[in-house]
Structure 1
């Protein structure tokens, strides 16, 4: 799409990127209405969280789980400067799939996503597939879990999306144990993370994070 075509199709009030992500999710979840969490005060106006919001869908594929998707790492709104860019914004949005654990508390995961967003926005560094990062403790503090770090993999259902503002990779956060993290830390090569993900995928194709996994 040329800049002129972009101007003809959209105007400055259009949430161009947001609509593209929402339409992509609608293709997967149909008429399901997600639970959406936004910010009372936008980040640009001094709000605490860089993300514009997070949507939570319920899925019964493989096992009952929540599927969380961020809005804000990519360009969500009209952006003439992004028309000819390969990637939209940082080039990704985060997702996470959480097995239902009984209390259905997912706020800790959204807080984790917002903390990672602060790291990205403050440092200017971004994540790519097969990157990994420690949580500096259990990924959920009020739960007895062995998962202490996060590995990133392309979301098996959302994959990659071409938007009018550029490409977005949906990077799914996968909880990993201390032993798994130590293995990656000792061999910080993309191939090692890829090997781990493939091992996890054998019994868990959607790479759903299960806090009770040992």
Structure 2
């Protein structure tokens, strides 16, 4: 006689989705070998529902970021990572099976969360460094996250679970979210992207004049909501300060993120807000102030910037390999190195700079 498995967490998700789709039987894709036993897929399952409102699309719902079975974590108020992902993808009327790439994308999000411990929240964004659908010519090369417009947060026996919808976005839409805020940009786009359905064939919505104006106004009035930016190519090389030989301190950045850093500094410092760049070995914190200066201690660099310096940096920080003196900060230079974009196999597919 086998012991009955406790599925209260799973059942709670099913009950919430049933409020939308009733008795519709979803296309469900389970995992044969559990991730904890060496399987490749961290999520226990993904269900795909057909929806025709407001336009035909697949509505994916994950099972596995939250605690589906017994309660294991110590936090009684939150189930697992506290969320499940959803994804709405435009569907052709005659399409009977959801595309495999979308299932792989959701499992990749699981691998990222399970390996890094970083969780997603409404308002987050993620640069995919290439098409969200591999080997396609889609212009959607990044992802943003917002509360699912139909699935509300639920309280399960294992704790609270939110439903975060993943939304495909273009590179310039990503930059708009960085320089203003994610939810503001998505709200501005909603009339052209109902229920935040991802459509691989669409162009950037910033080509719509009214949306571009709303984003520009939001950035100018509110500044950037991005206080932290993870930077793959970030380094600080301390110079020599001896009497016989002096060398400058060097702030190293990658070409891919140089331009957006300049824009973010404008949107943060001029609004009296800090900007923190986080790398693998160093953290660089830019702060507003009247007199440019820098202090280094314990792997952390704090740089004070005034408005004039920010304006000069915005002009100098371009996605191009270069080296120049840090404006108004004697003894410091900025070095911008080329950025190599690689595919999943480690092959260089693009060089920036």
User: TM-score by structure 1 length?
Assistant: 0.87
Shift of the 33–105 alpha-carbon distance from structure 1 to 2, 3 Å rule, reads closer
1:181 & 1:86 partners in 2: Cα distance?
32
- Structure 2 gaps of 5+ residues are 204-353
1:155 & 1:95 partners in 2: Cα distance?
7
Q: Does 1:73 align with 2:62?
A: no
SS of 1:206's equivalent?
Answer: helix
The structure that is strand-richer by fraction is 2
Q: Does 1:87 align with 2:81?
A: no
Number of aligned positions between the proteins: 199
Contact 1:49/1:114, CA 8 A, preserved across alignment: yes
Q: What is the root-mean-square deviation of aligned Cα atoms in Å? A: 1.8
Contact 2:33/2:39, CA 8 A, preserved across alignment: yes
- Please name the residue that 1:182 is paired with: 175
- Please name the residue that 1:212 is paired with: 201
Contact 2:58/2:98, CA 8 A, preserved across alignment: no
1:81 & 1:124 partners in 2: Cα distance?
14
Q: 1:6-155, aligned counterparts within 5 Å? A: 13-79=5-71, 85-101=76-92, 105-155=98-148
Moved over 4 A (4+): 101-105
Contact 1:73/1:90, CA 8 A, preserved across alignment: yes
Contact 2:62/2:85, CA 8 A, preserved across alignment: yes
> 1:143, CA displacement in angstroms?
2.5
Contact 1:12/1:78, CA 8 A, preserved across alignment: no
SS of 2:196's equivalent?
Answer: coil
> 1:81, CA displacement in angstroms?
5.3
2:154 & 2:190 partners in 1: Cα distance?
22
1:142 & 1:115 partners in 2: Cα distance?
16
Instruction: Provide Cα deviations, 1:148-206, integer angstroms capped at 9, x if missing partner.
Output: 00000000000211111111110000110111112223x2xxx6111111012123331
1:22 & 1:57 partners in 2: Cα distance?
12
1:80 & 1:41 partners in 2: Cα distance?
20
Contact 2:73/2:80, CA 8 A, preserved across alignment: no
User: TM-score by structure 2 length?
Assistant: 0.54
1:80 & 1:133 partners in 2: Cα distance?
29
Shift of the 80–211 alpha-carbon distance from structure 1 to 2, 3 Å rule, reads closer
